[in-house]
Structure 1
Amino acid sequence: MSLHVLHYQHEGRARWGVVKNGAITPIPGEFATTAEFIAANPVERLVELEGPTIPESIVQWLSPVTANQQFICQGANYRQHMIESGMDPDVKKFNMIFTKATSCIVAADSPVVKPSHVRFLDYEIELGLVLKKNITSRRVIADADLHEYVAGAVIVNDYSARDVQIPQMQFYKGKSYRTFGPIGPYLCLLNKADVAKLGDLELTLTVNGAVRQKDSTANLVYGPAETLSELSGVHDLHVGDLLSTGTPAGCALSVPSPMKQRLAAALSEETKWKMFMEIQAARTEYLRAGDTVEARIASRDGSIDLGVQRNQVVDEAS
């Protein structure tokens, strides 16, 4: 059975604790970063933790991934999301990788601030994996060995300003505004048997109670082991770093089909992006101040449940 760990603020201190049935058992020690926490607290030891508890309801949630860790993301990693993003999944044969600024990381219940100049704010539920082993040289990681590299799982919402990301071709900027990366609530620590279930988790995202995204990690195109193997040949990864594995179909973004995109290539840049903005302006799915977004990820048998992430959209203060 997986183990819920909460990073939280209580009585002026940032602490870590094991959560069960709404009660927190504080974990002894001070751990300023996710890397420090994971290195000192293997799941096998924490399952035996005992001691006085405090109610979860009286603490303030913090992100279980601290801002010093790398925030690495996969794009268009579910077949149907490729299609809705205007890609041909039978032609795209590469793993799309980008990063988000760690300054966008916030707790799972934080408001999401819509910048005043952003018109098209989108949501993206994603399964996030937190590493427990440094990867500093090229290696081939098999699915059977994934438990050696993954400490646990978290919910990530990759909020995106589509009117910055797409016309400017700026994934990093369009996805990195402050508050655009809520993580948690829990770091769900996994043992070997749990890691084997990562390919059968159900993701569900709602906006104001209406389902917008619903899919299974069984439909990931590039799985975690394959992705970590590829990344190992590009740059170093460290304990506590976060890999966000991509979002399913159902985003607010509307992109023309590959055929229409080829036709649009003959247009001037000004005309092409004017048409893009007009198409997006007709989409009522984009987020507005007052909207509530909820994200859930769990296995069907309930043995892995990452909790509920809930964000209210607010306008940037003038």
Structure 2
Amino acid sequence: MPRTVVRYTHHARPHWGVLFGRRIAPLASGALSTGELLQSCWAPIWAAEAASATLPIDEVELLAPVTDRQQFICQGVNYRSHIAESGLRVEHFPFNTIFTKAPSCITAADAPVVRPAHVQLLDYEIELGLVLRRSLPAGTRVGPDDLPQWLAGVTIVNDLSARDVQLPQGQFYKGKSYRGFGPVGPGLVLLTPQEWARWPELHMRLSVNGQPRQDAYCADMIHGPAATLSELAAMHDLHAGDLIATGTPAGCAARAPGKLVMFVLKHLLSEAGKWRAFIGKGASNPAYLRPGDRIQASIRTDDGLIDLGEQTTRITAP
């Protein structure tokens, strides 16, 4: 069975624990980072028992289970459905698109998120988050059956994105790294080797104000966890507790314009004019997030045996 690790504040201090239903079994750990916890408390996490879950979850404030001392690595255009809705073709993306978000954007699953005053096109992206169990040596080749050796567990990530910064400026990092733009959690769900084999069955759903927006299975992923870990290990160092967000499926607010609009943008407008038109059209798109909107995001297998919980995020004004 999976084990859900939570990080929470109780009596004004951060703590770690294992979640059993609506109660927490506190862990005797002063770990300052997710990586430190996984390295020092792997056995105690799995040894925790429901009988020791004495702390009601309603009496604590949940924090993100991934701390801001970790790397926050992301994959882009990694779902076939998302590529199609962007007006692109899968065969044009044989490569794995990698970028980063600032760890300082990580926030709790139920924390309000401020839409910066200059941002008008705020978008959502539900993603499966992978968390490293241990450091990954340079050049490591990871096969599908090796995931339990290198990965601790999974969590929900919402890759909030200011499209009117990201796209016109060509800056993924800048458009996706404002404070609060990375809700993570509510928990970090540790998986057994048998459960890791079920990652393609994880069902992602996101709604805004009760309206379904994204609904897809992780099986739609193009570059899976093993291939991505192998590629990252060839590039730079990865450490215990680091977070990899694996891309989003179709259903985002940002959509590809029609063929006629694309022709006009490409042939009749300057680069600056093209992006002014993009922002102007987006301002009338009700799918973009506005202050007062409420996002709900969940990831689980259809039989409920692997359940990452639910995020509830409210967008607020500055």
| Bucket of the pairwise TM-score, normalised by the shorter protein | over 0.9
For 1:142 and 1:101, the matched residues in 2 are separated by 29
The answer to whether the Cα contact below 8 Å between 1:297 and 1:305 also exists between their aligned partners in 2 is: yes
Match of residue 14 from structure 2: 14
Match of residue 281 from structure 1: 283
For 1:153 and 1:124, the matched residues in 2 are separated by 16
**Alpha-carbon distance change, 200 to 272 in structure 1, aligned in 2, over 3 angstroms:** same
Match of residue 209 from structure 1: 210
Letter in structure 2 aligned against 1:271? G
Match of residue 47 from structure 1: 46
Query: TM-score, structure 2 length as denominator?
Result: 0.95
Per-residue CA distance 1:186-208 (angstroms, 9 max, x = gap): 01011111111111100000101
Query: TM-score, structure 1 length as denominator?
Result: 0.95
Say if 2:204 is the partner of 1:175.
Answer: no
SS in 2 for 1:194: helix
Q: Which has the higher helix share?
A: 2
Letter in structure 2 aligned against 1:243? I
Letter in structure 1 aligned against 2:45? L
Per-residue CA distance 1:53-107 (angstroms, 9 max, x = gap): 1100010111110001000000111111012223221222111110000110111
**Alpha-carbon distance change, 315 to 146 in structure 1, aligned in 2, over 3 angstroms:** same
Tell me how far 1:13 sits from its aligned partner.
Answer: 1.5
Match of residue 2 from structure 1: 2
For 1:224 and 1:261, the matched residues in 2 are separated by 34
What is the correspondence of 1:1-318 to structure 2 with a 5 Å cutoff?
A: 1-42=1-42, 45-50=44-49, 51=52, 53-256=54-257, 261=262, 264-266=265-267, 267-316=269-318
Over aligned residues, Cα RMSD in angstroms? 1.5
Tell me how far 1:263 sits from its aligned partner.
Answer: 6.0
SS in 1 for 2:290: coil
The answer to whether the Cα contact below 8 Å between 1:63 and 1:106 also exists between their aligned partners in 2 is: yes
**Alpha-carbon distance change, 135 to 263 in structure 1, aligned in 2, over 3 angstroms:** farther
Letter in structure 2 aligned against 1:22? R
Tell me how far 1:262 sits from its aligned partner.
Answer: 6.6
For 1:263 and 1:224, the matched residues in 2 are separated by 39
Per-residue CA distance 1:155-188 (angstroms, 9 max, x = gap): 0000000000000001000000000001000010
SS in 1 for 2:189: strand
Tell me how far 1:48 sits from its aligned partner.
Answer: 2.7
For 1:120 and 1:181, the matched residues in 2 are separated by 16
- 5+ residue gaps in structure 2? none
The answer to whether the Cα contact below 8 Å between 1:87 and 1:257 also exists between their aligned partners in 2 is: no
Moved more, 127-136 or 275-284: 275-284
For 2:32 and 2:264, the matched residues in 1 are separated by 52
**Alpha-carbon distance change, 263 to 138 in structure 1, aligned in 2, over 3 angstroms:** farther
Identity value in percent = 48
SS in 2 for 1:265: helix
Tell me how far 1:140 sits from its aligned partner.
Answer: 1.6
How many residues end up aligned between the 2 structures? 315
- 5+ residue gaps in structure 1? none
For 2:187 and 2:123, the matched residues in 1 are separated by 23
For 1:58 and 1:207, the matched residues in 2 are separated by 27
**Alpha-carbon distance change, 230 to 14 in structure 1, aligned in 2, over 3 angstroms:** same
